[in-house]
Structure formats: C-alpha cells, structure tokens
C-alpha cells in the first residue's frame, strides 16, 4: 500500500509516496537520491546506514519510512554547512581514519551523535551498571570521551569497519570531543 509522507532531509523538505514496507534507508537512497547513508548488511548489524533521526542516531535500514512521517533526518552529507566540513569530517580526514570509506558516513554520523550524547550526560557505557531497584536513578553525569578511548570503542561498537581502520578513528573522535 502506498502512503504519502514528508521528510526533512539535510535541511530540505520532501514529500514522497512510499510503499509501507519501504525502509528509511531505501527512501533516502532510491527515492531521494541521497546515497550518503550506505547499505551494508540491511538488517541492523553494521551501522553503515546510520543517520540522525530527530537528533538521535538510528540505523535507517531498520526504520520504516512511514513510521517517521514528518521526521528530521540528517545524513553525513548534511553535516557540512556553507561549504565547510563538519569538525568530525575534518578530523577523520586529518587522522586518516578510513581505508575504503564505505562505512565512513555512518561512522561520522554516529561519532557526532556520540560526542553530543556524552556531553549531555548519558551513563558511562563502560562503567554503567543497572540501578539496583526500580526507583534507583542511573548516573547521568557527562562522560569525558577525550580521556576515555574505551568509552569511544564501546559507544561506536554498532559501527563496523571491514578494513579495521578503528585505530585512527579513536584519536579523530578524541580531538573533536576535547
Ligand atoms: Fe543498516 Fe547495516 S545497513 S545496519
């Protein structure tokens, strides 16, 4: 069944008709021609399709487009503004944090979101232990990513790189997190 939806993608509004089974990834790539998010596994395993969906990172291959009518989507292509690369994009280049580059858009979107998540106080991914009781509040203090490469590895573990270029991604992300 076809349904009409609107999406804001990288700051531009689009109205499109999609089959209810169309994923957000396919809507972006095949309907809107935005090939920045990549199709790796197509079932939530690799992170190559990561986008910001209403400000939170999401695997667009797992999201149905119709479920996100009216959503604000940002892809790696939309991170650059006024012809200037986003600091995370620049840092990946300066640190040579990729090899073939296929996973890079997803890595960068995920890293940008992670730095914001850490700064605004998500529980430590490495040291967090679930609260003891139903009413216990978790530690929501900010996480100093620049000083904690293990946090970066843990929080980026949903983004795989077949070339294993991880070693240079860590300092690239640390530089932006400082
Ligand atoms: Fe979406 Fe791999 S293509 S997680």
Q: Quick: pLDDT tens for 66-79.
A: 999 999 999 999 99
Under 8 Å between Cβ of 57 and 110: yes
Q: Quick: pLDDT tens for 91-108.
A: 999 999 999 999 999 999
Kindly give, in sequence order, each residue whose CB lies less than 8 Å from that of residue 107, ignoring residues fewer than 6 positions away: 47, 50, 92, 97, 98, 156, 159, 161, 169
Spacing, Cα 62 to ligand 1 middle (Å): 8
Confirm whether the ipTM is greater than 0.90: yes
Pocket test for ligand 1, best of 46, 102, 158, 161 (most atoms within 8 A of CB): 46
Q: Is the CB of 160 under 6 A from ligand 1?
A: no
Classified by CATH at the fold level, domain 87-177 comes out as DNA polymerase; domain 1 (1.10.150)
Sequence ranges of the domains in the chain: 2-78, 87-177
Classified by CATH at the fold level, domain 2-78 comes out as Ubiquitin-like (UB roll) (3.10.20)
What's this model's pTM, rounded to 2 decimal places? 0.91
């Amino acid at each position: 069944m076809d349904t009409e939806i609107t999406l804001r993608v990288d700051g531009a509004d689009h109205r499109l008709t999609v089959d209810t089974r169309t994923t957000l990834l396919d809507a972006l790539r095949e309907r809107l021609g935005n090939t920045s998010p990549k199709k790796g596994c197509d079932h939530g395993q690799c992170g190559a399709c990561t986008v910001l969906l209403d400000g939170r990172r999401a695997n667009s291959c797992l999201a149905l487009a119709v479920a996100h009518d009216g959503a604000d989507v940002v892809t790696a292509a939309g991170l650059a503004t006024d012809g200037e690369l986003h600091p995370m994009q620049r840092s990946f280049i300066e640190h040579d944090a990729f090899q073939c580059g296929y996973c890079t858009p997803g890595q960068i979107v995920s890293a940008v979101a992670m730095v914001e998540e850490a700064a605004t106080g998500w529980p430590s991914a490495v040291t967090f232990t679930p609260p003891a009781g139903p009413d216990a509040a978790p530690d929501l203090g900010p996480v100093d990513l620049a000083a904690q490469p293990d946090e970066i590895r843990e929080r980026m573990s949903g983004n795989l790189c077949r070339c294993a270029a991880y070693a240079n991604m860590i300092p690239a992300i640390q530089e932006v997190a400082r």
